[in-house]
Amino acid sequence: MRLHSVIVRELLHYRWNSVAGLAAVMLAVGAIAGTAMLLGAYETDAAGALRANEARLQEQLADMRADVDRAMGELGFNLTILPQGQEVADWYAQDETAPTMPETAVGKLREAGIAAVRNPVGQLRRRVTWPEEERWKGWPVVVLGRGAIEPGSETGAAERGSNSRPAEVSGEPAPLAERYLKPPPPGSVALGHEIHQTLGLRQGDEIRFHGRTLRVERCLLEEGNRDDITIVMTLREAQELLDQPGHISEIVAQGTSWALENIELLRQQVAQVLPGSQVVQRVPDALAARLAAMHAGRIERQRLEQERAAQAELNRDRRRLAGLINLLVVASCGLWVGWLAWSNVAERRAEIGIWRACGLRARRLAAIFLGRWVVLGAAGTAAGLAAAAALAPGAVGGSAALEPGLLAIAVVVALVLSALAASVAALAAAREDPATALRAG
């Protein structure tokens, strides 16, 4: 009779022993595959939920930054770069700078391509009296000479590909309000709200100022600060009037939401271009609520990072626990399989003795028991994987999947258990002395 026919008869005749062995292999393989599938599905779902929350938070933060950028464009220049040697406390107290810097500093700043510094413009600001206007009663006015914004300076590093460009800075600059885009034309001025209201001046009127006849180009809205007593003119005319050719007192620029969040890093970047300079940032009250929302968003992002780290640690703990449980299951199943194989041989000592007395060689006898457990191992592997694939998706909502690595582990476990059982059975049967077996039977 052929070997495979004998193995099939063996399985059918000793069916309960075969079913028990099949169940042992199936349990070991199913435990490994099932726990791995469940853990993998849970980790995938948890990571997906975290990614979704992070994407939603990033979208909200992007909208907030865009909103802040639009507001800052309307509010105008909120960054002031002071020259070397200027004390910030004195600047706050006097509202103007005593030292100056070369006008070429503006070009250096533009060439540096710092993306968070947009529309940099040189200004010369000084307090003077207005000798020609008696109605002003000798009060000081602020002369402000402002340079023009160069085309393309609003895009900063976006067009030049600077390495200093932060990832959070938007590629599209926020529009700057019209009143900040360009100074009045030569020979004309823009008057602060207090000046034109007090003197009753309107657009198109002419004034005399320090021996010059100037046309009123614009009447500015009320700002509630020094701009209300400011006379704005071209930088060149202010330099001539104040006898400061080629010099400016400050550089003003339109900041971004990134600059609001990272002012210290921005100061370091500017200091590399203009050594000794200082950056002062003005945060209008209108942005307070938006900045508070952005701060809350950053805190939420930190919380998500902490949750991700805690989830990773929890996953590691779960996998260690699952590994320990699987080890106990496999060890128990291995003992079970070994006992089944040994008991099967022990119960058949007389039968084995008859086979040996009839001339069945030990090698042939060992092959029968080896083949039997190889078949049980293969069937148990298939049954365990099928059970895990069928039950695991239902336990986690259908997201579990059987990975190739799991399949390889399960096959190795099945082979180890089958080899253990086959070795026990084959060695016991092959070493059985026919005469001793017949006397015992």
Which of 267-271, 272-276, 316-320 is least confident? 316-320
Judgement on whether residues 128 and 272 belong to the same structural domain of the protein = yes
Q: Higher model confidence: residue 390 or residue 175?
A: 390
Judgement on whether residues 86 and 151 belong to the same structural domain of the protein = yes
Q: Higher model confidence: residue 235 or residue 55?
A: 235
Q: What is the DSSP letter of 224?
A: S
Number of domains in the chain: 2
Task: Render pLDDT for 89-115 as a digit per residue (tens, 0 to 9).
Answer: 777 776 666 789 999 999 999 898 888
Provide the pLDDT for residue 170. 42
Provide the pLDDT for residue 232. 93
pLDDT (mean) for 324-351: 75
Judge whether 289 lies within some domain.
Answer: no
Which of 47-56, 85-94, 246-255, 345-354 is least confident? 345-354
Provide the pLDDT for residue 154. 46
Look at residues 253, 282, 311 and tell me which one is the last residue of a structural domain: 282
Tell me if 322 sits within 8 A of 31, measured CB to CB.
no
Q: Is the pLDDT of residue 420 over 80?
A: no
Provide the pLDDT for residue 71. 67
C-alpha distances in angstroms, 304 versus 79, 113, 169, 262, 290? 32, 33, 22, 21, 21
Tokens of 233: 């003119």
Q: Is the pLDDT of residue 184 over 90?
A: no
Look at residues 247, 282, 317 and tell me which one is the last residue of a structural domain: 282
Q: pLDDT class for 421, splitting at 50, 70, 90?
A: low
% pLDDT > 70, the chain = 72
- For tokens 């500093």, the residue is 105
Residue 381: name the closest of 32, 56, 92, 84 by CA. Answer: 32
Phi-psi region of 417 (alpha: psi -120 to 50; beta: other; left: phi over 0): alpha
Which of 71-80, 129-138, 383-392 is least confident? 71-80
Judgement on whether residues 40 and 107 belong to the same structural domain of the protein = no
Cα 421 from Cα 373, distance rounded (Å): 7
Judge whether 73 lies within some domain.
Answer: no
Judgement on whether residues 161 and 270 belong to the same structural domain of the protein = yes
Provide the pLDDT for residue 144. 92
Judgement on whether residues 23 and 93 belong to the same structural domain of the protein = no
Provide the pLDDT for residue 294. 66
**Could you tell me whether strands 212-219 and 188-191 are parallel, antiparallel, or unpaired per DSSP bridges?**
parallel
Angle, helices 288-347 vs 362-395, to 10°: value is: 150
Q: What is the largest CA-CA distance in the chain?
A: 140
Residue 387: name the closest of 115, 54, 33 by CA. Answer: 33
The average confidence (pLDDT) of the chain is: 77
pLDDT (mean) for 408-429: 67
Judgement on whether residues 87 and 36 belong to the same structural domain of the protein = no
Cα 227 from Cα 196, distance rounded (Å): 12
Q: Higher model confidence: residue 115 or residue 275?
A: 275
Q: Is the pLDDT of residue 167 over 60?
A: no
Judgement on whether residues 322 and 378 belong to the same structural domain of the protein = yes
Residue count of the chain, please give it. Answer: 441
Judgement on whether residues 42 and 112 belong to the same structural domain of the protein = no
Residue 18: name the closest of 332, 323, 383, 271 by CA. Answer: 383
Q: What are phi and psi of 351, to 5 degrees?
A: -65, -40
Judge whether 62 lies within some domain.
Answer: no
Which of 46-50, 143-147, 230-234, 432-436 is least confident? 432-436
Judge whether 186 lies within some domain.
Answer: yes
Q: Higher model confidence: residue 387 or residue 369?
A: 387
Provide the pLDDT for residue 350. 67
Q: Is the pLDDT of residue 247 over 90?
A: yes
Judgement on whether residues 369 and 262 belong to the same structural domain of the protein = no
Task: Render pLDDT for 25-57 as a digit per residue (tens, 0 to 9).
Answer: 888 888 878 887 788 778 878 888 888 888 887
Domain containing 415: what range? Answer: 3-55+300-440
Which of 102-111, 124-133, 308-317, 404-413 is least confident? 404-413
Which of 89-98, 234-243, 432-441 is least confident? 432-441
Q: Is the pLDDT of residue 286 over 90?
A: no
Judge whether 99 lies within some domain.
Answer: yes
Cα dihedral 364/366/372/377 (nearest 10)? -140
Provide the pLDDT for residue 175. 55
Judgement on whether residues 90 and 196 belong to the same structural domain of the protein = yes
Judgement on whether residues 316 and 414 belong to the same structural domain of the protein = yes
Provide the pLDDT for residue 424. 65
E strand or H helix at 306: helix 288-347
Name, of 21-35, 57-71, 191-205, 290-304, the range with top average pLDDT. Answer: 191-205
Q: Higher model confidence: residue 422 or residue 438?
A: 422
Q: Is the pLDDT of residue 379 over 60?
A: yes
Tokens of 138: 């000798």
Judge whether 436 lies within some domain.
Answer: yes
Residue 78: name the closest of 263, 205, 323 by CA. Answer: 263
Task: Render pLDDT for 144-156 as a digit per residue (tens, 0 to 9).
Answer: 998 887 655 444 4
Judge whether 70 lies within some domain.
Answer: no
Judgement on whether residues 51 and 152 belong to the same structural domain of the protein = no
Q: pLDDT class for 303, splitting at 50, 70, 90?
A: confident
- Beta bridge partners, 251, equal 81, 122
Contacts of 325 (CB under 8 A, 6+ apart): 31, 35
Provide the pLDDT for residue 353. 67
Judge whether 120 lies within some domain.
Answer: yes
Which amino acid belongs to residue 232?
V
pLDDT (mean) for 362-380: 76
Provide the pLDDT for residue 237. 94
Provide the pLDDT for residue 11. 74
Tokens of 102: 């070369």
Q: Higher model confidence: residue 381 or residue 270?
A: 270
Which amino acid belongs to residue 179?
R
3-state secondary structure of 339: helix
